Amino acid sequence: MRVVLTLYGAKGYSGLPKYFYFLAKHLAMNGLDVKVIVDSDDRLNKLFEVTRDVEVKVLGPAVTGIASKALFAYNIARYLRDKDFDILHSCDVLPYFYLMQQDRKPVVFQPFSNELFQIGGGDIRRLFYFVLRSCGQKAEALAVVGEWDMDKVIKYYGVDKGKTFILPVGVDIDFIRSMAMGRDEAREQLGIPHNAFVVLSVNILLPCKGISYLVEAFKDVPDALLVIVSSGPEESTLRWMVAILGLQDRVIFAGKVGEKDLYNYYSAADVFVSPTLLRGSSMGIMEAEALGLPIISTHQEFLIDGNGLVVPEKNPMAIAEAIIKVRNSDRVSMGKKSRKIVEPYDFKNIAKTAIHKYEEILK
């Protein structure tokens, strides 16, 4: 079977592009002939860090906004017009122009959550949403990340449930564990004190990710170190908060890091905290679970069962109390439960689900 995946990645090595990197790897490992279309050499190079068992085509332009995204989508359709393949698996508005062609191959459309598409305003937003809905309605199947998104997707795209299927966000557990160092070695590599109690949060720094509530909570968590990995528009505000609260010596902004350093930050941590205001899947929580960390989260209840705590969102006091409680708990036992909980979300399983749907569509 010949499958084409399309991706772009304004956020670099995280989120949407990372999902398709690992999906491509595991589809190829299952014997599929996989081609990946990317928008820039940056995406190509990061894809090759994960797998070289796929064919990659750089079309461009690099996606930096709605205009470049539209042109990239047009270039995808033009490129695929005379190509020999069986199925296209795409996301966002990227399959729009291809779906308008009469003699096309079947398309699996993966919208993820609609919060990923909050851009612009007014007429631009309305046009963008029209294009997005059109992709969902014209595609042969919609891949939904979880049951919690199902009703929203059905209502938003105006499709029958029979057109949808669950294809969750996941992680490559073996890859993560092979890349990560041991705890002491990771702390030595990253310059983190060996005796520190380390709280880790990994997420793009946007208001909807709730990192500000974690920073505020930290004033009530004594003798601990907070490490924030990633960057984003809210970083200057968060740094200002850290200064106002007098936490300069207890909060580290690690910025964007490479994949190996990312997993070493997980290895060096004692607990992972996700204070997000969004429901749905969290790749960060799953990566932390793959390396045996206890979890504290404001949502993602389906990923927490004896391996941590779920706390109310926008509640710094609850976050602080949860961190202290986990600190005083059996974190080794929690870590073992985390490793068990994440197993169904391994890309080995996700790829098999995708292949089953491809085969069903082609029949």
pLDDT tens digit string along 171-199?
Answer: 999 999 999 999 999 999 999 999 999 99
- Looking at the predicted structure, is the pLDDT value of residue 6 above 50? yes
- Looking at the predicted structure, is the pLDDT value of residue 12 above 60? no
Closest to 288 (Cα-Cα) out of 176, 363, 121, 196: 176
Structure tokens, 102:
């009469």
DSSP, res 303: G
pLDDT band, very low/low/confident/very high, at 18 (cuts 50, 70, 90): confident
What is the predicted pLDDT for the residue at 214? Answer: 97
Structure tokens, 15:
């989120």
CB atoms within 10 A of CB 248: 10
The HSE-up count of residue 124 (CA atoms within 13 Å, CB side) is: 9
Strand pairing class (55-58; 141-144):
unpaired
What is the predicted pLDDT for the residue at 187? Answer: 96
The burial class, CB within 10 Å (0-12 / 13-18 / 19+), for 340 is middle
- Looking at the predicted structure, is the pLDDT value of residue 139 above 90? yes
What is the predicted pLDDT for the residue at 145? Answer: 87
Q: Are the C-beta atoms of 107 and 88 separated by less than 8 Å?
A: yes
Render pLDDT for 22-36 as a digit per residue (tens, 0 to 9): 999 999 999 999 999
What is the predicted pLDDT for the residue at 113? Answer: 59
Q: Which residues pair with 35 in a beta bridge?
A: 4, 55
In one-letter notation, the amino acid at residue 217 is A
Three-state SS for 226? strand
pLDDT higher at 112 or 209: 209
pTM (global) more than 0.85: yes
pLDDT band, very low/low/confident/very high, at 357 (cuts 50, 70, 90): very high
What is the predicted pLDDT for the residue at 50? Answer: 78
What is the predicted pLDDT for the residue at 11? Answer: 45
- What's the CATH class of domain 2-170+346-362? alpha beta
Structure tokens, 237:
């505000």
Give start-end residues of each CATH 3.40.50.2000 domain in the chain.
2-170+346-362, 173-343
Of the listed ranges 119-123, 135-139, 244-248, the one predicted with least confidence: 119-123
What is the average per-residue pLDDT within 58-77? Answer: 90
Render pLDDT for 202-234 as a digit per residue (tens, 0 to 9): 988 888 899 999 999 999 999 999 999 988 899
CATH number of this structure's domain 173-343: 3.40.50.2000
What is the predicted pLDDT for the residue at 115? Answer: 44
- Looking at the predicted structure, is the pLDDT value of residue 125 above 80? no
Most confident of 63-67, 128-132, 210-214: 210-214
What is the predicted pLDDT for the residue at 252? Answer: 96
